[in-house]
Amino acid sequence: MDQRISMITLIVPDIMTARAFFETGLGWQVNAAPSPHVVFFQIPGGVFALYDRNALEDEIGSKVTTAPFGAMTLAWNAKARDDVDTMFAKAVAAGARSVKEPQEAFWGGYSSYVEVPGRHLLEIAFNPFWTVTDDGSVLLPDPQP
């Protein structure tokens, strides 16, 4: 198996609220919504999707259980430290719940967390050790021998 992730899907209880958060609140562009239960956004190197929890349970024939927050966290890495404050404020204005306001992080960066629709955590961070390219891709430093 190639070392890559093709798609990240958030399972959400209210697809319209989640879609509005990303599309209207954050200004993301929907690339496809083939049914009322799923929405696809093109992102650098892959696809980000929102999927209605009830529709997924119908598809797999089983209940989907998660921890108090969604079953995963997402991260949005900024090109500059000040972008964290701007995007944090934009996310909260779009309806995200503040979990951790932007602050210096123990690992040397600047980080914050919000809860997006579906109870998933989104980290909004600046990592001075990573490079964020013009297309939004993140380049990690070369591994140490």
Q: Looking at residue 27, which CATH number applies to its domain? A: 3.10.180.10
* Domain contains 117: yes
- Residue 1, in any domain of the structure: no
Q: Which domain holds residue 56?
A: 7-137
**What letter represents residue 114's amino acid?**
V
E-strand ranges in 78-144 read: 97-104, 110-116, 120-126, 131-132, 138-139
Residues in contact with 59: Cβ distance below 8 Å, sequence separation at least 6, in sequence order: none
Lowest mean pLDDT among 2-6, 22-26, 115-119, 122-126: 2-6
Output the average pLDDT for the chain: 86
- Which pLDDT belongs to residue 67? 55
- As a whole-number percent, the residues of the chain with pLDDT over 70 amount to 90
- Split at pLDDT 50, 70, 90, the class of 44 is confident
Report pLDDT for 25.
Answer: 96
Does residue 69 have a pLDDT over 60?
Answer: no
Decide if 127 is inside a domain: yes
Residue 145 inside a domain? The answer is no
Query: Is there a contact between 22 and 41 (Cβ–Cβ < 8 Å)?
Result: yes
pTM of the model: 0.77
* The pLDDT value given to residue 107: 86
**pLDDT band (50, 70, 90) for residue 3:** confident
- pLDDT for res 110: 96
Closest CA to 115 of 83, 70, 77: 70
Work out how many domains the chain is built from and give that number.
1
pLDDT tier, 14 (very low <50, low <70, confident <90, very high otherwise): very high
Mean pLDDT within 132-145 = 80
Question: Of 14-28, 51-65, 117-131, which range is least confident?
Answer: 51-65
